[in-house]
Amino acid sequence: MFALARQAVIWRAGAQIAGQIITWSATFLVIRILSPHDYGLFAMTQVMLTVLNMLNGAGLASGLIQKPDADERSIRQVYGMLIVLNFGLGIVQFATAPLVAAYFQQPIVADLLRVQAFLYVTTPFVAFPYALLAREIDFKPQAKVYFLSSITGAVAALGGALAGLGVWTLILAPAVLFTTRAIGMTRVSGHHYRPLFDFRGAGALAKFGGLMAAGQFFWVIQSQADVFIAGRVLSPATLGLYTTGLFLTQILVSKFVPAINDVAFSVYARMQDNRDAVAVGFARSARMVMLVAMPFYIGLAVTAEPLVATVLGPKWVEAGPIVQLLALAMPMMTLQVLAGPACSAMGRPGLTAKIGAVGAILLPAAFAVGLNWGVQGLAASWSFAYVAYLIYTGVRTLPVIGLSAATLARAILPPVVAAMVMGVVVLLVDHALPPMMDPVRLVILVAIGAIVYLGWLTLFTRAILHEAVAMARGRAYGGEEPIPEPEAA
**Ranges 135-149, 224-238, 277-291, 301-315: which has the least confidence:** 135-149
Mean pLDDT of 373-379: 95
Residues 46-88 have pLDDT tens digits of 989 888 877 776 666 666 665 666 678 878 888 888 898 899 9
CB 115 within 8 A of CB 44: no
Q: pTM for this structure?
A: 0.74
Residues 463-472 have pLDDT tens digits of 888 877 776 6
CB 239 within 8 A of CB 232: no
Mean pLDDT of 180-187: 91
Helix or strand (DSSP H, E) at 458: helix 438-460
Residues 322-366 have pLDDT tens digits of 999 999 999 999 999 888 777 766 767 677 778 888 998 999 999
Q: What is the pLDDT of residue 284?
A: 84
CB atoms within 10 A of CB 368: 16
**Ranges 31-35, 109-113, 277-281: which has the least confidence:** 277-281
211 — pLDDT class (breaks 50, 70, 90): low
Q: How far is it, in rounded angstroms, from Cα 420 to Cα 418?
A: 6
Q: What is the pLDDT of residue 54?
A: 74
- The torsion defined by the Cα of 321, 322, 325 and 329, in degrees rounded to 10, comes to -160
Q: Report the mean per-residue pLDDT for the chain.
A: 83
Helix or strand (DSSP H, E) at 87: helix 72-104
Q: How far is it, in rounded angstroms, from Cα 402 to Cα 18?
A: 34
Q: How far is it, in rounded angstroms, from Cα 359 to Cα 236?
A: 26
Check pLDDT > 90 for residue 416.
yes
Q: What is the pLDDT of residue 78?
A: 82
CB 426 within 8 A of CB 445: yes
Mean pLDDT of 382-393: 95
Angle at Cα 31 formed by Cα 29 and Cα 36, nearest 5°?
A: 165
Residues 15-50 have pLDDT tens digits of 555 556 677 678 888 988 999 999 999 999 998 988
Q: What percent of the chain has pLDDT over 70?
A: 80
Using the Cα atoms of residue 224, residue 230, residue 232 and residue 236 in order, give the sign of their dihedral: negative
Q: How far is it, in rounded angstroms, from Cα 64 to Cα 134?
A: 9
Q: How far is CA 85 from the centre of its chain?
A: 23
CB 33 within 8 A of CB 39: no
CB 47 within 8 A of CB 231: yes
Q: What percent of the chain has pLDDT over 90?
A: 48
